A and B are shown apart, each in its own frame.
Chain A
Amino acid sequence: MQANSSAPIVRFENVTKSFGELTVLRQLDFDVAPAEKVTIVGPSGSGKTTILRVLMTLEKPNDGVIWVNGEPLWHQKSGDKLVPASEKHLRKVRGSIGMVFQHFNLFPHMTALRNVTEAPIHVLKMPKGDAEQRAVELLQKVGLSDKLGHYPSQLSGGQKQRVAIARALAMRPKVMLFDEVTSALDPELVGEVLNVIRELAEEGEMAMLLVTHEMGFAREVSDRVVFFDKGRVVEQGPPEQIFGSPQNERTKAFFNAVLRH
Protein backbone atom coordinates (compact mmCIF):
# COMPACT_ATOMS: atom_id res chain seq x y z
CA MET A 1 0.00 0.00 0.00
CA GLN A 2 2.82 2.41 -0.77
CA ALA A 3 1.60 5.90 -1.59
CA ASN A 4 1.78 6.63 -5.25
CA SER A 5 4.30 9.29 -6.18
CA SER A 6 2.49 10.45 -9.34
CA ALA A 7 0.35 13.62 -9.57
CA PRO A 8 -1.92 14.06 -6.56
CA ILE A 9 -5.59 13.15 -6.88
CA VAL A 10 -6.43 15.92 -4.39
CA ARG A 11 -4.44 19.09 -3.80
CA PHE A 12 -5.31 21.89 -1.39
CA GLU A 13 -3.40 24.99 -2.38
CA ASN A 14 -3.39 27.85 0.07
CA VAL A 15 -6.98 27.13 1.08
CA THR A 16 -8.60 29.38 3.66
CA LYS A 17 -12.06 28.91 5.13
CA SER A 18 -13.65 31.17 7.72
CA PHE A 19 -17.03 31.23 9.39
CA GLY A 20 -17.47 34.93 10.15
CA GLU A 21 -14.61 35.91 12.44
CA LEU A 22 -13.49 32.34 12.97
CA THR A 23 -10.80 31.12 10.58
CA VAL A 24 -11.04 27.35 10.43
CA LEU A 25 -8.60 26.53 7.61
CA ARG A 26 -5.52 28.78 7.39
CA GLN A 27 -3.80 28.79 4.00
CA LEU A 28 -3.84 25.04 4.01
CA ASP A 29 -1.56 23.12 1.66
CA PHE A 30 -2.27 19.45 1.57
CA ASP A 31 -2.02 16.65 -1.03
CA VAL A 32 -3.49 13.19 -1.35
CA ALA A 33 -1.92 10.77 -3.83
CA PRO A 34 -4.07 8.41 -5.94
CA ALA A 35 -5.05 5.35 -3.88
CA GLU A 36 -3.46 6.83 -0.78
CA LYS A 37 -5.15 6.24 2.59
CA VAL A 38 -4.84 9.31 4.77
CA THR A 39 -6.17 9.71 8.29
CA ILE A 40 -6.67 13.15 9.76
CA VAL A 41 -6.53 13.38 13.54
CA GLY A 42 -6.70 16.41 15.76
CA PRO A 43 -8.55 18.10 18.60
CA SER A 44 -12.26 18.86 18.42
CA GLY A 45 -12.97 22.04 16.49
CA SER A 46 -9.62 22.00 14.70
CA GLY A 47 -11.29 21.94 11.26
CA LYS A 48 -11.10 18.25 10.27
CA THR A 49 -14.71 18.06 9.16
CA THR A 50 -14.33 21.35 7.34
CA ILE A 51 -11.51 19.93 5.18
CA LEU A 52 -13.81 17.13 4.05
CA ARG A 53 -16.77 19.44 3.56
CA VAL A 54 -14.98 21.93 1.29
CA LEU A 55 -13.71 18.98 -0.72
CA MET A 56 -17.24 17.54 -0.99
CA THR A 57 -18.43 21.03 -2.07
CA LEU A 58 -20.68 21.34 0.97
CA GLU A 59 -18.79 24.47 2.09
CA LYS A 60 -17.21 27.04 -0.16
CA PRO A 61 -13.63 28.07 0.66
CA ASN A 62 -12.92 31.79 1.00
CA ASP A 63 -9.56 31.62 -0.70
CA GLY A 64 -7.15 29.26 -2.41
CA VAL A 65 -7.66 26.51 -4.96
CA ILE A 66 -8.57 22.86 -4.53
CA TRP A 67 -7.50 20.54 -7.35
CA VAL A 68 -9.16 17.21 -7.95
CA ASN A 69 -7.60 14.91 -10.50
CA GLY A 70 -5.79 17.86 -12.06
CA GLU A 71 -8.89 20.05 -12.35
CA PRO A 72 -9.79 22.99 -10.12
CA LEU A 73 -12.86 22.12 -8.03
CA TRP A 74 -14.31 25.48 -7.08
CA HIS A 75 -12.94 27.25 -10.14
CA GLN A 76 -12.81 26.77 -13.86
CA LYS A 77 -10.26 27.91 -16.36
CA SER A 78 -11.07 30.91 -18.49
CA GLY A 79 -8.03 31.57 -20.68
CA ASP A 80 -5.23 31.16 -18.16
CA LYS A 81 -7.22 32.70 -15.32
CA LEU A 82 -9.32 30.81 -12.75
CA VAL A 83 -12.89 32.05 -12.38
CA PRO A 84 -15.58 30.74 -10.00
CA ALA A 85 -16.96 27.40 -11.16
CA SER A 86 -20.35 27.04 -12.81
CA GLU A 87 -22.79 24.50 -11.39
CA LYS A 88 -22.00 22.32 -14.40
CA HIS A 89 -18.26 22.37 -13.79
CA LEU A 90 -18.77 21.74 -10.08
CA ARG A 91 -20.89 18.70 -10.82
CA LYS A 92 -18.37 17.32 -13.27
CA VAL A 93 -15.43 17.53 -10.86
CA ARG A 94 -17.48 16.51 -7.82
CA GLY A 95 -18.21 13.21 -9.55
CA SER A 96 -14.78 11.92 -8.49
CA ILE A 97 -15.55 12.37 -4.80
CA GLY A 98 -17.79 10.42 -2.47
CA MET A 99 -18.59 10.84 1.20
CA VAL A 100 -19.85 8.81 4.13
CA PHE A 101 -21.35 10.83 6.96
CA GLN A 102 -21.35 10.48 10.71
CA HIS A 103 -25.15 10.29 10.79
CA PHE A 104 -25.55 8.10 7.67
CA ASN A 105 -28.03 10.44 5.95
CA LEU A 106 -29.77 7.57 4.16
CA PHE A 107 -32.93 8.40 2.26
CA PRO A 108 -35.64 7.21 4.69
CA HIS A 109 -38.30 6.79 1.99
CA MET A 110 -36.22 4.34 -0.04
CA THR A 111 -35.28 0.75 0.64
CA ALA A 112 -31.61 -0.17 1.08
CA LEU A 113 -31.49 -1.26 -2.56
CA ARG A 114 -33.05 1.96 -3.85
CA ASN A 115 -30.74 4.06 -1.69
CA VAL A 116 -27.88 2.46 -3.60
CA THR A 117 -29.44 2.53 -7.10
CA GLU A 118 -30.92 6.03 -6.94
CA ALA A 119 -27.90 8.11 -7.96
CA PRO A 120 -26.43 5.62 -10.48
CA ILE A 121 -29.79 5.53 -12.31
CA HIS A 122 -30.66 9.21 -12.16
CA VAL A 123 -27.24 10.88 -12.05
CA LEU A 124 -25.03 8.47 -14.01
CA LYS A 125 -27.98 7.41 -16.23
CA MET A 126 -27.11 3.76 -15.76
CA PRO A 127 -29.73 1.29 -17.03
CA LYS A 128 -31.93 0.20 -14.11
CA GLY A 129 -31.02 -3.48 -14.42
CA ASP A 130 -27.28 -2.79 -14.35
CA ALA A 131 -27.62 -0.42 -11.44
CA GLU A 132 -29.60 -2.99 -9.47
CA GLN A 133 -27.15 -5.75 -10.21
CA ARG A 134 -24.28 -3.58 -9.03
CA ALA A 135 -26.23 -2.48 -5.94
CA VAL A 136 -26.86 -6.10 -5.01
CA GLU A 137 -23.15 -6.84 -5.36
CA LEU A 138 -22.21 -3.84 -3.23
CA LEU A 139 -24.75 -4.66 -0.53
CA GLN A 140 -23.44 -8.20 -0.55
CA LYS A 141 -19.93 -6.88 -0.12
CA VAL A 142 -20.93 -4.92 2.98
CA GLY A 143 -22.73 -8.01 4.31
CA LEU A 144 -26.31 -6.91 3.78
CA SER A 145 -27.58 -9.11 0.96
CA ASP A 146 -30.53 -10.09 3.20
CA LYS A 147 -31.62 -6.47 3.76
CA LEU A 148 -32.21 -5.27 0.19
CA GLY A 149 -35.89 -4.50 0.74
CA HIS A 150 -35.53 -3.01 4.21
CA TYR A 151 -36.14 0.67 4.88
CA PRO A 152 -33.50 2.53 6.91
CA SER A 153 -35.86 2.67 9.91
CA GLN A 154 -35.75 -1.15 9.97
CA LEU A 155 -31.95 -1.29 10.15
CA SER A 156 -29.47 -0.95 13.03
CA GLY A 157 -26.97 1.91 13.05
CA GLY A 158 -24.15 -0.32 11.83
CA GLN A 159 -26.34 -1.66 9.03
CA LYS A 160 -27.39 1.85 8.03
CA GLN A 161 -23.79 2.97 7.85
CA ARG A 162 -22.89 -0.04 5.69
CA VAL A 163 -25.73 0.81 3.29
CA ALA A 164 -24.38 4.38 3.21
CA ILE A 165 -20.94 3.04 2.28
CA ALA A 166 -22.44 0.91 -0.50
CA ARG A 167 -24.41 3.92 -1.71
CA ALA A 168 -21.27 6.04 -1.94
CA LEU A 169 -19.30 3.24 -3.63
CA ALA A 170 -21.98 2.85 -6.30
CA MET A 171 -20.86 6.18 -7.77
CA ARG A 172 -17.31 4.81 -8.23
CA PRO A 173 -15.52 7.78 -6.66
CA LYS A 174 -11.75 8.14 -6.95
CA VAL A 175 -11.60 9.66 -3.48
CA MET A 176 -13.82 8.65 -0.61
CA LEU A 177 -14.28 10.81 2.46
CA PHE A 178 -15.21 9.29 5.84
CA ASP A 179 -16.12 11.74 8.61
CA GLU A 180 -16.17 9.97 11.97
CA VAL A 181 -18.38 7.32 10.48
CA THR A 182 -18.46 5.17 13.62
CA SER A 183 -18.89 7.82 16.28
CA ALA A 184 -22.70 7.76 16.20
CA LEU A 185 -22.74 3.97 16.63
CA ASP A 186 -23.20 1.82 19.71
CA PRO A 187 -19.78 0.39 20.65
CA GLU A 188 -20.72 -3.18 19.68
CA LEU A 189 -21.58 -2.04 16.12
CA VAL A 190 -18.35 -0.15 15.45
CA GLY A 191 -16.41 -3.26 14.46
CA GLU A 192 -18.67 -4.32 11.58
CA VAL A 193 -18.33 -0.90 9.95
CA LEU A 194 -14.56 -0.70 10.47
CA ASN A 195 -14.21 -4.16 8.92
CA VAL A 196 -15.93 -2.96 5.76
CA ILE A 197 -13.67 0.11 5.55
CA ARG A 198 -10.60 -2.03 6.24
CA GLU A 199 -11.53 -4.26 3.29
CA LEU A 200 -11.94 -1.25 1.03
CA ALA A 201 -8.54 0.01 2.13
CA GLU A 202 -6.99 -3.38 1.34
CA GLU A 203 -8.52 -3.44 -2.14
CA GLY A 204 -6.47 -0.36 -2.59
CA GLU A 205 -7.45 1.45 -5.80
CA MET A 206 -9.57 4.21 -4.22
CA ALA A 207 -7.97 7.08 -2.29
CA MET A 208 -9.46 7.45 1.18
CA LEU A 209 -9.49 10.43 3.48
CA LEU A 210 -10.62 9.50 6.97
CA VAL A 211 -11.37 11.52 10.08
CA THR A 212 -11.58 9.19 13.04
CA HIS A 213 -11.01 8.87 16.76
CA GLU A 214 -10.29 5.15 16.39
CA MET A 215 -6.51 5.45 16.72
CA GLY A 216 -5.82 1.72 16.53
CA PHE A 217 -7.77 1.49 13.30
CA ALA A 218 -6.05 4.57 11.86
CA ARG A 219 -2.66 3.06 12.59
CA GLU A 220 -3.68 -0.13 10.84
CA VAL A 221 -5.18 1.19 7.57
CA SER A 222 -3.39 4.48 6.93
CA ASP A 223 -0.47 5.13 4.64
CA ARG A 224 -0.14 8.52 6.27
CA VAL A 225 -1.47 10.18 9.39
CA VAL A 226 -1.96 13.91 9.49
CA PHE A 227 -2.12 15.72 12.81
CA PHE A 228 -4.18 18.81 12.34
CA ASP A 229 -4.64 21.71 14.73
CA LYS A 230 -5.96 25.26 14.51
CA GLY A 231 -6.54 25.03 10.77
CA ARG A 232 -3.06 23.83 9.87
CA VAL A 233 -1.16 20.59 9.39
CA VAL A 234 1.09 20.39 12.43
CA GLU A 235 2.81 17.12 11.70
CA GLN A 236 2.38 14.23 9.28
CA GLY A 237 4.01 10.97 8.34
CA PRO A 238 3.61 7.19 8.37
CA PRO A 239 1.45 5.96 11.26
CA GLU A 240 4.38 4.34 13.12
CA GLN A 241 6.16 7.66 13.19
CA ILE A 242 3.23 9.87 14.16
CA PHE A 243 1.85 7.50 16.78
CA GLY A 244 5.22 6.07 17.84
CA SER A 245 7.53 9.04 18.02
CA PRO A 246 5.74 12.32 17.39
CA GLN A 247 8.15 15.26 17.15
CA ASN A 248 5.85 18.21 17.73
CA GLU A 249 4.86 19.20 21.28
CA ARG A 250 1.20 19.73 20.33
CA THR A 251 1.06 16.28 18.74
CA LYS A 252 2.55 14.69 21.84
CA ALA A 253 0.14 16.52 24.12
CA PHE A 254 -2.82 15.46 21.97
CA PHE A 255 -1.90 11.76 21.96
CA ASN A 256 -1.18 11.83 25.68
CA ALA A 257 -4.65 13.25 26.30
CA VAL A 258 -6.30 10.77 23.91
CA LEU A 259 -4.49 7.75 25.25
CA ARG A 260 -5.23 8.65 28.85
CA HIS A 261 -8.96 8.49 28.09
Chain B
Amino acid sequence: MQPEYAIRTVNLQRTYKTKERVLKALDGVDLAVRPGELFGFLGPNGAGKTTTIKILTTLLLPSGGTAEVWGFDVLHEADAVRRHINMVSGGESSGYGLLTVRENLWMFTQFHGMDSKVANKRIDELLEVMGLADRAKTRVSFLSTGLRQKMNYIRGLLTDPDVLFLDEPTLGLDVEAARTLRTYTRHWLDTNPGKTVVLTTHYMQEADELCDRVAIISGGTILACDTPTSLKYSLQQDVVFRLFTTPVAPAFLQAVEQIAGVQSISQRSGDQRDELSLILRDDAILPQVLSQLANHNAGLLSLEKRQPTLEDVFVNLVGHSLSESETTA
Protein backbone atom coordinates (compact mmCIF):
# COMPACT_ATOMS: atom_id res chain seq x y z
CA MET B 1 0.00 0.00 0.00
CA GLN B 2 1.41 3.33 -1.06
CA PRO B 3 0.86 6.56 0.82
CA GLU B 4 -0.02 9.70 -1.07
CA TYR B 5 3.37 11.18 -0.33
CA ALA B 6 6.64 9.36 0.19
CA ILE B 7 7.88 12.47 1.96
CA ARG B 8 5.98 15.45 3.21
CA THR B 9 7.40 18.25 5.31
CA VAL B 10 5.69 21.41 6.41
CA ASN B 11 7.65 24.40 7.63
CA LEU B 12 10.51 22.20 8.77
CA GLN B 13 12.94 23.99 11.06
CA ARG B 14 16.19 23.04 12.66
CA THR B 15 18.53 25.14 14.75
CA TYR B 16 21.90 24.08 16.08
CA LYS B 17 23.00 25.65 19.31
CA THR B 18 26.72 25.80 19.91
CA LYS B 19 28.60 27.74 22.55
CA GLU B 20 29.34 30.60 20.20
CA ARG B 21 26.07 30.95 18.35
CA VAL B 22 22.69 29.69 17.33
CA LEU B 23 22.58 28.53 13.74
CA LYS B 24 19.42 28.15 11.71
CA ALA B 25 20.26 25.22 9.47
CA LEU B 26 16.71 24.75 8.16
CA ASP B 27 14.34 27.65 7.96
CA GLY B 28 10.91 26.54 6.83
CA VAL B 29 11.41 23.70 4.38
CA ASP B 30 8.27 22.45 2.62
CA LEU B 31 8.59 19.28 0.60
CA ALA B 32 6.16 16.95 -1.10
CA VAL B 33 7.70 13.95 -2.80
CA ARG B 34 5.52 11.33 -4.44
CA PRO B 35 6.20 7.61 -4.35
CA GLY B 36 8.25 6.64 -7.39
CA GLU B 37 10.15 9.90 -7.65
CA LEU B 38 13.87 10.36 -7.77
CA PHE B 39 14.14 13.62 -5.92
CA GLY B 40 17.35 15.63 -5.82
CA PHE B 41 18.71 18.22 -3.44
CA LEU B 42 21.14 20.65 -4.91
CA GLY B 43 22.82 23.26 -2.77
CA PRO B 44 26.14 24.73 -1.66
CA ASN B 45 28.02 23.53 1.42
CA GLY B 46 26.08 24.13 4.60
CA ALA B 47 22.79 24.60 2.75
CA GLY B 48 21.00 22.10 4.99
CA LYS B 49 20.87 19.01 2.75
CA THR B 50 22.35 16.59 5.23
CA THR B 51 20.34 18.12 8.05
CA THR B 52 17.14 17.47 6.11
CA ILE B 53 18.13 13.88 5.45
CA LYS B 54 19.06 13.31 9.08
CA ILE B 55 15.65 14.51 10.17
CA LEU B 56 13.87 12.35 7.61
CA THR B 57 15.87 9.28 8.64
CA THR B 58 15.01 9.81 12.33
CA LEU B 59 18.59 10.57 13.33
CA LEU B 60 17.86 14.14 14.29
CA LEU B 61 14.83 15.86 15.77
CA PRO B 62 13.38 18.90 14.03
CA SER B 63 13.19 22.09 16.07
CA GLY B 64 9.89 22.97 14.47
CA GLY B 65 7.43 22.00 11.76
CA THR B 66 6.48 18.47 10.80
CA ALA B 67 7.94 15.75 8.63
CA GLU B 68 6.37 12.54 7.43
CA VAL B 69 8.05 9.68 5.63
CA TRP B 70 5.90 7.04 3.96
CA GLY B 71 2.95 8.49 5.85
CA PHE B 72 4.55 8.26 9.30
CA ASP B 73 5.63 11.10 11.52
CA VAL B 74 9.41 11.12 12.07
CA LEU B 75 8.98 12.27 15.64
CA HIS B 76 6.13 10.16 16.96
CA GLU B 77 6.29 7.16 14.67
CA ALA B 78 10.01 6.79 14.22
CA ASP B 79 9.87 2.99 14.41
CA ALA B 80 7.36 2.82 11.59
CA VAL B 81 9.45 5.22 9.51
CA ARG B 82 12.50 3.01 10.04
CA ARG B 83 10.73 0.01 8.58
CA HIS B 84 10.46 1.82 5.26
CA ILE B 85 13.77 3.59 4.84
CA ASN B 86 17.46 3.14 4.39
CA MET B 87 20.30 5.60 3.97
CA VAL B 88 23.73 5.80 2.45
CA SER B 89 26.10 8.68 2.92
CA GLY B 90 29.11 9.07 0.74
CA GLY B 91 32.59 10.26 1.48
CA GLU B 92 33.04 8.25 4.63
CA SER B 93 34.82 5.00 5.33
CA SER B 94 32.43 3.23 7.61
CA GLY B 95 32.19 -0.49 8.23
CA TYR B 96 33.39 -3.10 10.68
CA GLY B 97 36.97 -3.66 9.65
CA LEU B 98 37.25 -7.11 11.18
CA LEU B 99 34.24 -8.45 9.32
CA THR B 100 34.21 -9.47 5.70
CA VAL B 101 32.19 -7.56 3.14
CA ARG B 102 29.55 -10.27 3.16
CA GLU B 103 29.37 -10.36 6.94
CA ASN B 104 28.97 -6.60 7.15
CA LEU B 105 26.11 -6.71 4.70
CA TRP B 106 24.47 -9.77 6.17
CA MET B 107 24.52 -8.21 9.62
CA PHE B 108 22.36 -5.33 8.48
CA THR B 109 19.78 -7.57 6.87
CA GLN B 110 19.41 -9.18 10.28
CA PHE B 111 18.58 -5.87 11.94
CA HIS B 112 15.64 -5.81 9.55
CA GLY B 113 14.74 -9.38 10.36
CA MET B 114 15.31 -10.60 6.80
CA ASP B 115 15.49 -14.27 6.08
CA SER B 116 19.15 -15.26 5.76
CA LYS B 117 18.68 -17.13 2.51
CA VAL B 118 16.88 -14.27 0.83
CA ALA B 119 19.44 -11.86 2.22
CA ASN B 120 22.42 -13.81 0.89
CA LYS B 121 20.88 -14.09 -2.53
CA ARG B 122 20.36 -10.35 -2.66
CA ILE B 123 23.85 -9.71 -1.37
CA ASP B 124 25.25 -11.82 -4.21
CA GLU B 125 23.21 -9.98 -6.82
CA LEU B 126 24.20 -6.56 -5.61
CA LEU B 127 27.86 -7.45 -5.15
CA GLU B 128 27.79 -8.53 -8.76
CA VAL B 129 26.16 -5.28 -9.90
CA MET B 130 28.68 -3.12 -8.07
CA GLY B 131 31.62 -5.23 -9.18
CA LEU B 132 32.47 -6.36 -5.67
CA ALA B 133 31.68 -10.03 -6.10
CA ASP B 134 35.32 -11.10 -5.84
CA ARG B 135 35.69 -9.14 -2.60
CA ALA B 136 32.84 -10.81 -0.74
CA LYS B 137 35.25 -12.62 1.57
CA THR B 138 37.69 -9.74 1.96
CA ARG B 139 37.95 -8.09 5.33
CA VAL B 140 36.55 -4.59 5.18
CA SER B 141 39.74 -3.16 6.70
CA PHE B 142 41.50 -4.15 3.48
CA LEU B 143 39.08 -2.21 1.26
CA SER B 144 39.83 1.21 -0.16
CA THR B 145 37.51 4.08 0.69
CA GLY B 146 35.76 3.84 -2.66
CA LEU B 147 35.17 0.11 -2.32
CA ARG B 148 33.76 0.62 1.15
CA GLN B 149 31.42 3.17 -0.30
CA LYS B 150 30.18 0.69 -2.87
CA MET B 151 29.57 -1.75 -0.02
CA ASN B 152 27.71 0.96 1.83
CA TYR B 153 25.51 1.59 -1.20
CA ILE B 154 24.71 -2.11 -1.34
CA ARG B 155 23.78 -2.01 2.33
CA GLY B 156 21.32 0.74 1.52
CA LEU B 157 19.59 -1.23 -1.22
CA LEU B 158 19.74 -4.58 0.48
CA THR B 159 16.67 -4.15 2.62
CA ASP B 160 14.58 -3.05 -0.36
CA PRO B 161 13.48 0.20 1.32
CA ASP B 162 10.47 2.18 0.15
CA VAL B 163 12.43 5.39 0.52
CA LEU B 164 16.18 5.36 -0.02
CA PHE B 165 18.20 8.39 1.07
CA LEU B 166 21.49 8.92 -0.71
CA ASP B 167 23.61 11.73 0.72
CA GLU B 168 26.26 12.49 -1.89
CA PRO B 169 26.56 8.83 -2.81
CA THR B 170 29.08 9.35 -5.59
CA LEU B 171 31.43 11.54 -3.58
CA GLY B 172 34.90 10.08 -3.90
CA LEU B 173 33.93 7.37 -6.38
CA ASP B 174 35.78 7.04 -9.65
CA VAL B 175 33.92 7.99 -12.82
CA GLU B 176 32.96 4.49 -13.73
CA ALA B 177 31.79 3.50 -10.25
CA ALA B 178 29.77 6.71 -10.03
CA ARG B 179 28.14 5.88 -13.35
CA THR B 180 27.33 2.34 -12.26
CA LEU B 181 25.75 3.66 -9.09
CA ARG B 182 23.65 6.18 -10.97
CA THR B 183 22.55 3.72 -13.60
CA TYR B 184 21.63 1.10 -11.05
CA THR B 185 19.71 3.58 -8.90
CA ARG B 186 17.65 4.54 -11.95
CA HIS B 187 17.20 0.90 -12.90
CA TRP B 188 16.07 0.02 -9.40
CA LEU B 189 13.42 2.73 -9.51
CA ASP B 190 12.25 1.73 -12.96
CA THR B 191 11.90 -1.92 -12.07
CA ASN B 192 10.31 -1.35 -8.66
CA PRO B 193 7.39 1.02 -9.14
CA GLY B 194 6.71 3.16 -6.11
CA LYS B 195 10.22 3.06 -4.69
CA THR B 196 11.46 6.53 -3.92
CA VAL B 197 14.97 7.96 -3.84
CA VAL B 198 16.09 11.21 -2.26
CA LEU B 199 19.54 12.21 -3.36
CA THR B 200 21.81 15.09 -2.48
CA THR B 201 24.63 15.99 -4.74
CA HIS B 202 27.15 18.61 -5.67
CA TYR B 203 27.28 17.43 -9.24
CA MET B 204 25.02 19.42 -11.52
CA GLN B 205 25.10 16.81 -14.18
CA GLU B 206 24.08 14.11 -11.73
CA ALA B 207 21.08 16.15 -10.66
CA ASP B 208 20.20 17.07 -14.23
CA GLU B 209 20.42 13.63 -15.75
CA LEU B 210 19.23 11.51 -12.87
CA CYS B 211 16.57 13.38 -10.96
CA ASP B 212 12.88 13.63 -11.78
CA ARG B 213 12.70 16.76 -9.70
CA VAL B 214 15.31 18.94 -8.10
CA ALA B 215 15.06 21.24 -5.10
CA ILE B 216 17.62 24.00 -4.98
CA ILE B 217 18.36 24.76 -1.37
CA SER B 218 20.52 27.45 0.16
CA GLY B 219 20.73 28.85 3.66
CA GLY B 220 18.13 26.40 4.91
CA THR B 221 15.39 27.43 2.50
CA ILE B 222 14.23 25.95 -0.76
CA LEU B 223 14.68 28.49 -3.53
CA ALA B 224 13.12 26.46 -6.32
CA CYS B 225 11.74 23.00 -6.81
CA ASP B 226 10.83 21.54 -10.16
CA THR B 227 11.91 19.19 -12.93
CA PRO B 228 15.34 20.02 -14.35
CA THR B 229 13.67 20.91 -17.66
CA SER B 230 11.22 23.35 -16.11
CA LEU B 231 13.93 24.90 -13.99
CA LYS B 232 15.97 25.54 -17.10
CA TYR B 233 12.89 26.77 -18.91
CA SER B 234 12.46 29.44 -16.24
CA LEU B 235 15.62 30.98 -17.66
CA GLN B 236 14.39 30.70 -21.24
CA GLN B 237 13.53 34.40 -21.41
CA ASP B 238 17.03 35.24 -20.35
CA VAL B 239 20.15 34.85 -22.42
CA VAL B 240 23.19 32.99 -21.27
CA PHE B 241 26.69 33.74 -22.47
CA ARG B 242 29.93 32.01 -21.86
CA LEU B 243 33.00 34.21 -22.06
CA PHE B 244 36.66 33.33 -21.87
CA THR B 245 38.77 36.30 -20.83
CA THR B 246 42.20 37.10 -19.56
CA PRO B 247 42.10 37.00 -15.74
CA VAL B 248 39.67 39.54 -14.32
CA ALA B 249 39.66 41.28 -10.93
CA PRO B 250 36.78 41.04 -8.42
CA ALA B 251 36.14 44.74 -9.08
CA PHE B 252 35.11 43.87 -12.61
CA LEU B 253 32.55 41.36 -11.39
CA GLN B 254 31.14 43.90 -8.97
CA ALA B 255 30.90 46.49 -11.69
CA VAL B 256 29.05 44.08 -13.97
CA GLU B 257 26.61 43.13 -11.25
CA GLN B 258 25.68 46.79 -10.97
CA ILE B 259 24.53 46.96 -14.59
CA ALA B 260 20.75 46.92 -14.90
CA GLY B 261 19.56 43.75 -16.63
CA VAL B 262 22.46 41.56 -15.49
CA GLN B 263 20.89 38.60 -13.72
CA SER B 264 24.13 37.08 -12.57
CA ILE B 265 27.75 36.60 -13.38
CA SER B 266 29.94 33.83 -12.11
CA GLN B 267 33.62 33.19 -12.54
CA ARG B 268 35.68 30.05 -12.81
CA SER B 269 39.38 30.76 -12.77
CA GLY B 270 41.57 28.70 -15.00
CA ASP B 271 45.14 28.72 -16.09
CA GLN B 272 45.91 32.17 -17.57
CA ARG B 273 42.25 32.72 -18.32
CA ASP B 274 38.86 32.99 -16.67
CA GLU B 275 35.60 31.44 -17.69
CA LEU B 276 32.62 33.69 -17.03
CA SER B 277 28.97 32.69 -17.09
CA LEU B 278 26.71 35.59 -17.73
CA ILE B 279 22.94 35.65 -17.52
CA LEU B 280 21.31 38.74 -19.07
CA ARG B 281 17.75 39.91 -19.40
CA ASP B 282 18.48 40.89 -22.97
CA ASP B 283 21.13 40.65 -25.67
CA ALA B 284 21.31 44.43 -25.79
CA ILE B 285 23.08 44.59 -22.42
CA LEU B 286 26.13 42.71 -23.66
CA PRO B 287 28.01 45.76 -25.00
CA GLN B 288 27.93 47.38 -21.54
CA VAL B 289 29.53 44.27 -20.08
CA LEU B 290 32.20 44.23 -22.73
CA SER B 291 33.01 47.87 -22.17
CA GLN B 292 33.49 47.16 -18.46
CA LEU B 293 35.88 44.44 -19.49
CA ALA B 294 37.94 46.99 -21.37
CA ASN B 295 37.72 49.44 -18.44
CA HIS B 296 39.28 46.80 -16.22
CA ASN B 297 42.09 46.07 -18.64
CA ALA B 298 40.99 42.54 -19.40
CA GLY B 299 40.80 41.02 -22.84
CA LEU B 300 38.04 38.94 -24.39
CA LEU B 301 39.28 35.59 -25.71
CA SER B 302 36.02 34.08 -26.86
CA LEU B 303 32.31 34.59 -26.53
CA GLU B 304 29.50 32.11 -26.98
CA LYS B 305 25.76 32.26 -26.53
CA ARG B 306 24.37 29.02 -25.16
CA GLN B 307 21.36 27.17 -23.73
CA PRO B 308 20.77 27.61 -20.00
CA THR B 309 21.98 24.71 -17.86
CA LEU B 310 20.96 23.68 -14.40
CA GLU B 311 24.14 25.35 -13.24
CA ASP B 312 22.85 28.66 -14.62
CA VAL B 313 19.60 28.20 -12.74
CA PHE B 314 21.59 27.53 -9.62
CA VAL B 315 23.78 30.59 -10.05
CA ASN B 316 20.77 32.72 -10.76
CA LEU B 317 19.05 31.60 -7.56
CA VAL B 318 21.92 31.15 -5.15
CA GLY B 319 24.04 34.02 -6.40
CA HIS B 320 27.19 32.06 -7.08
CA SER B 321 28.16 28.85 -8.77
CA LEU B 322 28.56 25.57 -6.95
CA SER B 323 32.23 25.38 -7.84
CA GLU B 324 32.81 28.86 -6.40
CA SER B 325 31.25 27.84 -3.13
CA GLU B 326 33.40 24.71 -3.15
CA THR B 327 36.61 26.65 -3.42
CA THR B 328 35.65 29.29 -0.89
CA ALA B 329 34.30 26.79 1.62
Pair from one complex? no
Binding site for B on A (CB under 8 A): none
Residues of B within 8 A of A (CB): none
